[in-house]
Amino acid sequence: MSENNQPAFRVYSVISREGKDDYWLNIGLAFPHQDGKGFNVMLQALPLNAKLVLREAAEEESEQPSARVDRQKSHSVTRERRAVTSRA
């Protein structure tokens, strides 16, 4: 990990939605190696598809409020999926 232990990137799983834009679900962080030649990727959830997107971690602090609203919606979608999965 980096010397200051700060993540360089946020890791997103891209979820395709019919008739809507793809949704990027934040599932982890990426930390640079001390030698600058790689990253440790720490996931808090496993993606359901193979496409992952890494974006600079500092971007979230300056993102548009509408993007935050979309991210909040994803948390409710995740809770709904958990509820459906637990019933099955």
Q: Which of 1, 9, 2 is nearest to 58 (CA)?
A: 9
Please state the domain count of the chain. 1
> Residue 64 above 80 pLDDT?
no
How far is it, in rounded angstroms, from Cα 3 to Cα 33?
A: 9
How far is it, in rounded angstroms, from Cα 66 to Cα 86?
A: 31
The domain of 26 spans: 9-87
Q: Tell me whether residue 25 is in a domain.
A: yes
* Contact present, 7 and 31 (Cβ < 8 Å): yes
Q: Tell me whether residue 80 is in a domain.
A: yes
Q: Tell me whether residue 3 is in a domain.
A: no
Q: How confident is the model at residue 65 (pLDDT cuts 50, 70, 90)?
A: very low
* Contact present, 27 and 13 (Cβ < 8 Å): yes
What tokens were used for 86? 């637990």
Q: Indicate whether this model's pTM tops 0.85.
A: no
What is the per-residue pLDDT across 7-56, written as a single tens digit (0 to 9) for each?
Answer: 999 999 999 999 999 999 999 999 999 999 999 999 999 998 888 999 99
Q: Tell me whether residue 70 is in a domain.
A: yes
